[in-house]
Structure 1
């Protein structure tokens, strides 16, 4: 096993989008062709725009020429506050390693690369939502489960 890592470029979007679709199906089950096509196009547009304008980046892992994993980050800003004076946030998504390569440190390396790049770009709050399968990996990378007594996480979805 000779794993190499690199930052994704515009020509990698197809690989990133297909990986995201596969990850979504692995986590949530099969989707219809219509939903798959909608998600494919909207993710492709998002990633292409994000790579071009700097609001999205990803790192890729390869064993020779074989793709074995990726980790993506969405960068965004909110109003500055006491805990985040510059308002810059990073959100990790799509941490994925192909099944044959799991439990070899690839996910930890990809996550660390994403964290380091986000910090380099002064995005000092880095968040993610972990599956139960991924929780231990992210804890090894320094993430903690938050339990903020003053704030309650709420979502409005349509």
Structure 2
């Protein structure tokens, strides 16, 4: 039986390891130790309420993760509040996939964004995640661009 709970500092080390597993699975090339930067980010943003995560648990084992970062930019017509959710850390252990866990986690973090006052949620989806997000109601934005500094 899968249970769901919010991420706390107690689960943070395991959560970070699962985030790194997710990035590797998506094909990220590792050239730095990302753990210190992730620890810093999550500690700061969990403390100030601008990051929230729901976990899927099989007894005491984390089998699925989600994350939502809250950011604010000047309001625009598509998002009059200017508050946006940035979805990340969507990962389900391979042996637990295709059981509805990711959909449940997604529902929970999207509700967190709604409660925070976000007018939109964005994600850069992996190939594996596209179907989940389109089925949920996400639409592609062909104008997304990025400039690496």
Return the TM-score normalized by structure 1: 0.88
Which residue in 1 is equivalent to 2:103?
108
CA distance in 2, matches of 1:153, 1:30: 22
Structure 1: runs of 5 or more not aligned = none
Which residue in 2 is equivalent to 1:153?
144
Return the TM-score normalized by structure 2: 0.93
Pick one of 61, 72, 81 that aligns with 2:76: 81
Note the aligned Cα RMSD (angstroms).
Answer: 1.4
Residue 43 to residue 82, structure 1, CA distance change in 2 (3 Å): same
Q: Once superposed, which parts of structure 1, at least 4 consecutive aligned residues long, lie more than 2 Å away?
A: 29-32
CA distance in 2, matches of 1:145, 1:23: 22
Residue 156 to residue 30, structure 1, CA distance change in 2 (3 Å): closer
Matched, 1:58 2:24: no
Between Structure 1 and Structure 2, whose CA radius of gyration is higher? 1
Structure 2: runs of 5 or more not aligned = none
CA distance in 2, matches of 1:125, 1:83: 8
Q: What do residues 79-99 of structure 1 show as CA deviations (whole Å, max 9, x unaligned)?
A: 012221111000100100000
Larger deviation: 64-73 or 44-53?
64-73
Matched, 1:4 2:22: no
Matched, 1:134 2:129: yes
CA distance in 2, matches of 1:142, 1:82: 19
Q: What do residues 104-129 of structure 1 show as CA deviations (whole Å, max 9, x unaligned)?
A: 00000000101011101111210101
Superposed displacement of residue 157, structure 1: 0.8
CA distance in 1, matches of 2:8, 2:61: 17
Which residue in 2 is equivalent to 1:17?
16
